[in-house]
Amino acid sequence: MNEYSFILWHDSEMATTAKSAKRTATREKRRRQLIDAAVKCIARKGLGNTTIGDVAAEAGLSQGIVNLHFESKDNLFHETLRQLADEYKMRFESAMNKSRPLAADRLQALMELDLSPSICDRKKIAVWFAFWGEVKSRPTYRKICEKLDEHYDEVTKGLCDELIAEGNYKGISGAGVSTVLTSITNGLWQTCLISPKSFDRQQAMSAINEYLQSIFPKHFPVNSIED
Amino acid sequence: MNEYSFILWHDSEMATTAKSAKRTATREKRRRQLIDAAVKCIARKGLGNTTIGDVAAEAGLSQGIVNLHFESKDNLFHETLRQLADEYKMRFESAMNKSRPLAADRLQALMELDLSPSICDRKKIAVWFAFWGEVKSRPTYRKICEKLDEHYDEVTKGLCDELIAEGNYKGISGAGVSTVLTSITNGLWQTCLISPKSFDRQQAMSAINEYLQSIFPKHFPVNSIED
Amino acid sequence: MNEYSFILWHDSEMATTAKSAKRTATREKRRRQLIDAAVKCIARKGLGNTTIGDVAAEAGLSQGIVNLHFESKDNLFHETLRQLADEYKMRFESAMNKSRPLAADRLQALMELDLSPSICDRKKIAVWFAFWGEVKSRPTYRKICEKLDEHYDEVTKGLCDELIAEGNYKGISGAGVSTVLTSITNGLWQTCLISPKSFDRQQAMSAINEYLQSIFPKHFPVNSIED
Amino acid sequence: MNEYSFILWHDSEMATTAKSAKRTATREKRRRQLIDAAVKCIARKGLGNTTIGDVAAEAGLSQGIVNLHFESKDNLFHETLRQLADEYKMRFESAMNKSRPLAADRLQALMELDLSPSICDRKKIAVWFAFWGEVKSRPTYRKICEKLDEHYDEVTKGLCDELIAEGNYKGISGAGVSTVLTSITNGLWQTCLISPKSFDRQQAMSAINEYLQSIFPKHFPVNSIED
DNA sequence: AATGAATGAGCTTTCATTCAT
DNA sequence: TATGAATGAAAGCTCATTCAT
């Protein structure tokens, strides 16, 4: 009986899964650990100045670990972006599902999500901007971002179309409003990144609400929204 | 009598000034040439992957030239960003001055400027995003960007306040509207960068106009704006 | 039962220590190897013309190795000087200890050490002069050399004082004689460096002995010293 | 009448010499100016860290000037060393000639010269050591230094032989004493360079005098030498 | 699976030298 | 003669990647 069998013996859940499954699990955990470390480093030092050594050190592991699990630095960053996008999408879906199934509520929920402290956090925004900064020269980065944006636009446009139909609003289009809404959050994040001192979550949310109230007065009556 | 003798004749002090001005001009011209080359390289390869050799080659000059004129790569990029900011600001002021001196016209002019082909150009946007991507880890980059944004916000807010006062609009604030406007252009640029195929200048402008018409109906009557 | 099992058996803590000791040893060995290579290169090419690449090549290793183990070229040279000083001091102490515990014998032993082939070797002298040549512009080099000289002077002066007291010599001081003695070896080394063909170890030793005999006749009677 | 003729007109000394002679004079003056600047730089920064730019700046002239007058950096340094050696030799001869024509006086004069503030100056010593530090790897440097040393030794040995013959001193040789004397000054200079705080000109001179008094008591009676 | 020493390509920077003015 | 912008080779240093353990 060796060290290995000892572990397998005591952990019945492990025992039921195959040995390779356990390895895979461990492997996935390490990858996740390294991606998390990469995010922290990118937030602190930027994409261009983050070295594989930084990431390994942040994870408390050794030099060679990144190449062992990701084959290359490029790949690590690629997977990191994918992870960020997946995470964002999950939270997006979750916000939709948790809200009341009304277009106005959902739109409101999505806007609030984008300004929520865990997403509209300067460190995380810095990471997004770090990747966006390389989008032009890295087609693969662009594709991941584009796909996420497309989904965001599609959903928002759908909700706006619904509201416009419901409210019989004139002079506006779902496409136009969703374009504005999508743009606003990006613009607010930029302010949070560049002028953190003048950025104020409340004011930002107020600006969005003012907009929604002006444009969809029937769905977002004044004072209907409270914090 | 040529240009030279004219200078010598009319102002002997000018002769010295002219000489040093010429030296300075030459020096300034090289710096500008290198900054232009840097912009091209950053657009093509990103900040992190642009080498001093790339910039020199793009300018058709030798390796050592960048350090000769900028002392370091960091400094070159710093000056490049400053140049971009200066240029943007000049075009901003120019757009204001060329427009009719009415708040609505000026706001319209500024929005059009941000979407004009020479500013809302994917290559140029890529360069801005490249710098924004390093803002978190480079305080000096941040400061340059912040100062520019502050100026933009200030002017836009002033114009919005004027319009609100003139039109006696209710339920909106100059701060809120200008926040939305500022954000929109940034958001549109992001779309241009990330989803160039789905980005359409006309649609983008329409979205902005829809917004202005909804929010300032007295100043931006429907169909008042045509391309 | 092999060495390994012995360690594990007798002291499990030792197992860790042994491991890290081995790591350290290896690391220390590499550093030493590089310092030795540096000494050779400096002897051959001088401080200013020795490149990191030269040192690595001399050690039969790769370019990056010096920065890996010493962080910078400066540091390598600094450590090299320190190593030279340490080595010299060790040999100095050793010569003192091996000699009979009489002041005269010790003084004689020290002089012989300084002219011994392994110390008064043109290559090694060249290295010392290489460092001395930078002493003025490198305070850290100066400090290392100064400390060594201070020790040398202190010991020599002590021995001279003893001899003067013992022999009741008049007209001389321990400080004066030790100054002369210290100076002589440096001067002889310089001759060895600059005029190697006219430098003769025997003659040099004779000159020193003549001096000692003249100044301390009771301790160094004529013909008492033979080679 | 041009600028040139103006100068020739007013400076009759110049007028008598040919134009080319003036050029040569100017040329020699520039070379000397650059050598002086080189000495200052070497004293401050060492041989290895002195750049051609440093020298030109120190001389208040432009980048290209050194190559214009010396063809290469190597040549400048070579000429600088030669200049130093020539200067030293001139002062050496001058000290001999100014002294009373007695061997004892001349020896005394030479020792005093080597410790005089203008020669035993830390900056100048630093320059000598800078060159000595490269002697091993630069045969031409070595030759210049060797020639100077040979002359020094030859003269000193002659004086010592004279004294020994005159005083009928036993147990010492001219070669031995001159070796010691030559060595002493080099050794004292080294102390001045490395331990400037503990170096004291008076003590140094006393040590030499003690030595001369011990070894040549008839020529250097105690208290015969006063400061 | 993990380590970390070693590699070596690639980068920034320095600087002797050249050359048009 | 003198300048100083420009060159480009050479150097130090960084770091992704490899590999023996």
Does B47 share its domain with B102?
Answer: no
Q: CB-based contact (8 Å) between C175 and chain D?
A: yes
Nearby residues of D214 by Cβ (< 8 Å), 6 or more positions away: C171, C172, C214, C215
**CA gap A49, D183 in Å, rounded:** 56
Which of D71, D92, D107 corresponds to the end of one domain? D71
B62 CB closer than 7 A to any strand E atom? no
Q: Which residues of C touch D43 (CB under 8 A)?
A: 136
Whether the CB of D217 is less than 7 Å away from nucleic strand F comes out as no
Which one of D17, D48, D71 terminates a domain? D71
Amino acid letter, residue D194: I
Say whether both B46 and B116 belong to one domain.
Answer: no
Within this chain, do residues D134 and D210 fall inside the same structural domain, yes or no? yes
Do B108 and B165 fall within a single domain? yes
Is chain D in touch with chain C: ≥3 Cβ pairs within 8 A? yes
- The residue of A138, A179, A181, A208 whose CB has the most chain B CBs within 10 angstroms, and thus the best one to mutate to test that interface, is A179
Q: Residue B116 CA to E13 C1' — how many Å?
A: 40
Task: Residue B179: name the closest of B205, B152, B215, B146 by CA.
Answer: B152
* Residues C84, C6: Cα–Cα separation, whole Å: 38
Which B residues 69-128 touch A at CB under 8 Å?
A: 122-123, 126
A188, A194 in Cβ contact below 8 A?
no
- Dmax over CA atoms of chain B, in Å, equals 69
pLDDT digits 0-9 by tens, D17-55: 444 555 566 889 999 999 999 999 999 999 999 999 999
The reply to whether A129 and A175 lie within a common domain is yes
- State how far the alpha carbon of D60 is from the alpha carbons of D32, D38, D41, D66, D142, in Å: 13, 12, 13, 12, 31
pLDDT band at D186 (very low <50, low <70, confident <90, very high): very high
Given this model, what pLDDT does residue C70 score? Answer: 97
Contact between B28 and B53 under an 8 Å Cβ cutoff? The reply is no
The alpha carbon of residue A64 is apart from the nearest alpha carbon of chain B, in Å, by 23
Residue D222: per-residue pLDDT: 81
Per-residue CB contacts under 7 A with strand E, chain D residues 77-116 = none
Digit-coded pLDDT (tens) for D190-223: 999 999 999 999 999 999 999 999 999 999 988 6
The encoded tokens of residue B6 equal: 């004219």
| B64/B169 same-domain check | no
**Look-up: residue for tokens 């050696």?**
D85
D82 and D59 in a common domain: no
Burial of D67 (C-beta count, 10 Å sphere; 0-12/13-18/19+):
middle
Helix residue spans in chain B (DSSP H)? 3-10, 12-45, 52-58, 65-70, 73-98, 103-115, 122-132, 139-167, 174-194, 201-215
- List Cβ neighbours of A26 (8 Å cut-off, separation of 6 or more): none
Q: Is C214 near strand F, with its CB below 7 A from some atom of it? A: no
User: What is d(CA C98, CA C113) in angstroms, rounded to the nearest whole number?
Assistant: 11
C21 at interface of D, judged by CB pairs closer than 8 A: no
Phi then psi for residue A225, to 5 deg, are: -105, 125
Q: Check if the beta carbon of residue D195 is closer than 8 Å to that of residue D188.
A: no
Residue D24: per-residue pLDDT: 65
Looking at residue B136, its amino acid is K
Shared-domain flag, residues C53 and C80: no
Q: Could you give the C-alpha distances from B171 to A180, A187, A210, B142, B163, in angstroms and in order? A: 19, 22, 7, 33, 13
Whether D214 and C137 lie within 8 Å, measured CB to CB: no
pLDDT category of residue D72 using cuts at 50, 70 and 90: very high
Average the pLDDT over D146-154 and give the result.
96
Give the range of the structural domain holding residue A63, as residue numbers without chain letter.
1-71
CB contact under 8 A, B136 and A129: yes
Last residue of a domain, one of A71, A87, A117: A71
pLDDT per position in chain A (227 positions), as tens? 344 444 444 444 444 444 455 556 688 999 999 999 999 999 999 999 999 999 999 999 999 999 999 999 999 999 999 999 999 999 999 999 999 999 999 999 999 999 999 999 999 999 999 999 999 999 999 999 999 999 999 999 999 999 999 999 998 999 999 999 999 999 999 999 999 999 999 999 999 999 999 999 999 988 654 44
Q: How far apart are CA A121 and CA A115, in angstroms?
A: 9
Q: What is the 3-state secondary structure (H, E, C) of chain C?
A: CCHHHHHHHHCHHHHHHHHHHHHHHHHHHHHHHHHHHHHHHHHHHCCCCCCHHHHHHHCCCCCCHHHHHHCCHHHHHHHHHHHHHHHHHHHHHHHHHHCCCCHHHHHHHHHHHHHCCCCCCHHHHHHHHHHHCCCCCCHHHHHHHHHHHHHHHHHHHHHHHHHHHHHCCCCCCHHHHHHHHHHHHHHHHHHHHHCCCCCCHHHHHHHHHHHHHHHCCCCCCCCCCCC
pTM: 0.89
Per-residue pLDDT at B71: 97
Q: Which are the contacts of B9, defined by CB distance < 8 A and separation ≥ 6? A: B1
Task: Determine the pLDDT at residue A27.
Answer: 86
Residue with CA nearest E15 C1'? D51
Interior angle at CA C17, CA C13 and CA C20, nearest 5: 145
Phi, psi dihedral angles at B186 (to 5 degrees): -60, -40
Average pLDDT value over all residues in chain D = 89
Total number of domains in chain C? 2
Q: In this predicted structure, which of B127-131, C20-24, C142-146, C163-167 has the lowest mean pLDDT?
A: C20-24
The crossing angle, in degrees rounded to 10, of helices A73-98 and A139-167 is 10
Q: Do chains C and B touch (3 or more CB pairs under 8 A)?
A: no
At which residue do the structure tokens 């902005």 appear? B208
What is the band of C19 on the pLDDT scale with cuts at 50, 70, 90? very low
Nearest to B133 among A47, A173, A175 (CB): A47
Summarize pLDDT for C76-126 with one digit per residue, the tens.
999 999 999 999 999 999 999 999 999 999 999 999 999 999 999 999 999
Interface subset of B 187-206, CB within 8 angstroms of A: 187-188, 190-191, 193-195, 198, 203-204, 206
For residues D110 and D102, give the distance between their C-alpha atoms in angstroms, rounded to a whole number: 12
Which distant-in-sequence residues (6+ apart) come within 8 Å of C224 by Cβ? none
Q: pLDDT below 70 — which residues of chain B?
A: 1-25, 223-227
Q: Is C72 near strand F, with its CB below 7 A from some atom of it?
A: yes
Q: What's the CATH number where A161 sits?
A: 1.10.357.10
pLDDT at A171: 87
Q: Which residues of B touch A49 (CB under 8 A)?
A: 48, 137
Whether residue D141 is found in the same domain as residue D86: yes
For residue B156, the one-letter residue type is: T
Q: For residue A24, what pLDDT is reported? A: 64
Task: At D119, give phi and psi (nearest 5°).
Answer: -100, -45
Residues D1 and D35 in one domain: yes
- Do B121 and B198 reside in the same domain of the chain? yes
Residue D21's CATH number? 1.10.10.60
Residues A186, A153 contacting (CB under 8 angstroms): no
Judge whether residue C20 has pLDDT over 60: no
Residue B2 CA, nucleotide E19 C1', distance (Å) = 28
Whether residue A130 and residue B142 make contact (CB cut-off 8 A), yes or no, is no
Chain A CB contacts of B137 below 8 Å: 44-46, 49, 126
Provide the pLDDT for residue C101: 94
Task: Output the distance from B75 CA to F11 C1' rounded to whole Å.
Answer: 22
Residues of A in contact with B177 (CB under 8 A): 207, 210
B30: the nucleotide nearest its CA (via C1') is F5
Same domain, C187 and C83: yes
Arithmetic mean of pLDDT over chain C: 89
D80-108 residue pLDDT tens: 999 999 999 999 999 999 999 999 999 99
Cross-chain residue pair B176–A131, CB shorter than 8 Å:
no
pLDDT number for residue B27: 87
Touching pair B, D by Cβ (3+ pairs < 8 Å): no
Q: How confident is the model at residue D224 (pLDDT cuts 50, 70, 90)?
A: low
* Any strand F atom closer than 7 Å to A67 CB: yes
B177 vs A: CB within 8 A = yes
C-beta separation of C169 from C225 below 8 A = no
Torsion angle (degrees, nearest 10) of CA D211, D217, D104, D122: 20
Q: Is-contact D14 D8, C-beta < 8 A?
A: yes
